[in-house]
Amino acid sequence: METPIAFEELVKSRGSYKDAVGLPPSVYSDPDFFAFEIESVFSSEWLCVGREEQVSEVGDFFSATPAGEPIIVVRNSESEIRAMSSVCPHRGMCVTADLDGIDDQNMLEPTKFLSGNARYFRCPYHWWVFNLDGQLTGAPEMKDTDCFVMEDTSLAKIAVEIWNGFIFVNFDQNADPLGPSLIKLENTVTNYNLSSLKTVDPAVIPDVPFNWKIMIENFMEMYHNSRLHKGIHDWAPSSGAWYSDVEPTDGAMFGFNPSLEIDGGFNPSYKALFPPLPNLSEEERQRVVFAFIPPTLLIGMQADSAFWFTVNPTGPETHELSMAYLFPEEVLEIPLFDELLEAAIRGVGYFNRQDIPTNIASQLGLSSRFANRAHYSWQEAVIPQFNSWLVDRYEKSLKG
C-alpha cells in the first residue's frame, strides 16, 4: 500500500522528544492519507469498543462502528462475549440498523444502530435470521436456490479480547494477543482494580470536528495543563509530569500527573467528590494516571474513580468520541450519586470548554500553509512516543 506522504518525511517523527519532530501537518487532514491510515493502523490493531458490563446478561448486545465497520458485540447463549459483523451476507443490509421512527424529516440522516437484548438478530430487509453466534438459522424463500447452503452462511466473526473489563476487537483474526503487551501498564495500575469497576452509560459525541490524533495528543500530554488550564489545573501542575519509557513490544503509553494534595479532583473544589478507591496507596491517591492503549482507548485514573474515552475516526477531520466514568459498584448505590456525578461532569466541563475550542483551532492551524513540524517539551514526551508507534505501523504497511 502507498502513502501520499513520503516515508522519509514520516520517519522524522520517530524518536524521543529530544530529537523527533511532529508529524507532517497533512496527516491531520489529507483524505488520501486518512484512507492509508485506516488500512495501516485500524485494520489490524486492537480497537476498544466498550465495557463488558454493557453486555452483562445473555442476549445483551450493542452496536459499534470502529473505523467505519458496523459490528455487533453480544453475550451469547454460553455467556461468552462475541463480536461479529453487522453486515448481512445476503445483500449488505446492517442487521442492527434502527429503522423505527424514520420520517420525512430525518430519512437522510446517518443510520442509527440498535442496542439492547435479543434472542436472535433478524435482518430488517429480507428477514434472514441469525443466532447469537451469528450463524444463519432462517432465510425465507431460499429453498429453491440450489447453490445456497444455510449452514455455510453467517455474520463474519471478529476477534475479541477482554482486558480489565474493556472489550477490544481486531479485524485481523491472526493478530497477536493484546494482554501480554500491556503487562507494564497492568502492573502500574493494579490497585485501581479496573476490571471490578462499573461504567456509567457512555456519552457519545458524533463528528467531533478535528482529527482523531489531536484528541489523543491533547488527552495525554501534560505540557498544557498549567498553561491552557491555568487556575483550574493548579492542583496538579505540569511540573510534576512523568511518562513511562516505551519499548517496541509495549501496547500502551502512560504517565503520571502528581497533585499537590491527596484526593484531588477535576472540579472547582479541586477535591475528589466520591470515596477514594479502596486499594490505593497514599502516593496513588496523590496523582492522576493518564494511559493510552492505541489507537482508540484513553483511560484516566484518579483517587475516586476512573474515566475512559474511545476515539473512533470518522473522516480525516472528524471523529466520534465516547466517554464515561468508572466506579466501584457500591459507589453507584450511595445517596445522591446522580447529583454527585452531575457535579463531576460539570467540573470536567470547565476543562472541555478550553480543550475543545483549542483542538478545533489546532485543526484549522494544521491545515494552514504556515503549519510547522513541532519540536517537543519533555512535558509532552508522550506525543513522540505515539508518533513512533504510528510510524512503525505505517512502515509495516508500506513494506507489505
The domains of the chain are located at 7-43+181-399, 47-163
Which pLDDT value is given to residue 338? Answer: 96
| Residue % of the chain over a pLDDT of 70 | 100
Which pLDDT value is given to residue 137? Answer: 97
Q: Which run of H or of E encompasses 293?
A: strand 287-293
Locate 278 and state its grid cell.
Answer: 479502596
Which pLDDT value is given to residue 198? Answer: 98
- CA torsion 32-33-34-35 (nearest 10°) is 60
> CA 354, CA 143: separation in Å to the nearest integer?
61
Locate 3 and state its grid cell.
Answer: 502513502
Which pLDDT value is given to residue 107? Answer: 73
Q: Is the dihedral of CA 282, 283, 288, 289 positive or negative?
A: negative
Which pLDDT value is given to residue 101? Answer: 67
> CA 390, CA 23: separation in Å to the nearest integer?
10
pLDDT-derived band at 277 (thresholds 50, 70, 90) equals very high
> CA 385, CA 153: separation in Å to the nearest integer?
43
pLDDT-derived band at 180 (thresholds 50, 70, 90) equals very high
Q: Is the dihedral of CA 23, 29, 32, 36 positive or negative?
A: positive
pLDDT-derived band at 400 (thresholds 50, 70, 90) equals confident
- The CATH code of the domain at 7-43+181-399 is 3.90.380.10
Locate 395 and state its grid cell.
Answer: 512502515
Locate 165 and state its grid cell.
Answer: 473489563
**Average pLDDT score over residue span 39-46:** 97
Better-scored residue on pLDDT, 318 or 146: 318
pLDDT reading at 109 higher than 80: no
DSSP-assigned letters across all residues of 345-398: HHHHHHHHHHHHHHHHHHHHHHTSTT-------GGGTHHHHHHHHHHHHHHHHH
Which pLDDT value is given to residue 334? Answer: 95
CATH tag for 47-163 (out of 2.102.10.10, 2.60.200.20, 3.40.50.620, 2.30.30.90): 2.102.10.10
Which pLDDT value is given to residue 3? Answer: 85
pLDDT reading at 286 higher than 80: yes
**Average pLDDT score over residue span 172-187:** 97
SS3 211: coil
Encode pLDDT of 152-170 as tens digits: 999 999 999 999 999 999 9
**Average pLDDT score over residue span 274-295:** 97
Which pLDDT value is given to residue 210? Answer: 98
**Average pLDDT score over residue span 223-238:** 96
Contacting residues for 119 by C-beta, under 8 A, at least 6 apart: 59, 132
